[in-house]
Amino acid sequence: MEETSVIEERMTITEVAEKVGVTAKTIIRWEKAGRIRKPKRDWKGWRIYLEEDLEALQQIVSTVYES
């Protein structure tokens, strides 16, 4: 059962971008600039985001866009 919940909480960069209101390219740019930590990747090399990554991105978005 626990394995299922881990799979369900994984998100792609597109899903995360939609949830925080920026583009996937913006997230990649922030990653390369060191503003966010690099996410884990799956066996295909795709970025995998967890709930904690989403929360960190939401914090950055609120800092950048609501200043």
Query: Of all residues in the chain, what percent carry a pLDDT higher than 70?
Result: 87
Task: Name every residue whose Cβ is closer than 8 Å to that of residue 35 and which is 6 or more positions away in sequence.
Answer: 60
Q: 11-31, pLDDT tens digit by residue?
A: 999 999 999 999 999 999 999
Q: Residue 1: what pLDDT?
A: 47
pLDDT in tens, 36-50: 999 999 999 999 999
Give the chain's domains with CATH numbers: 2-65 (1.10.1660.10)
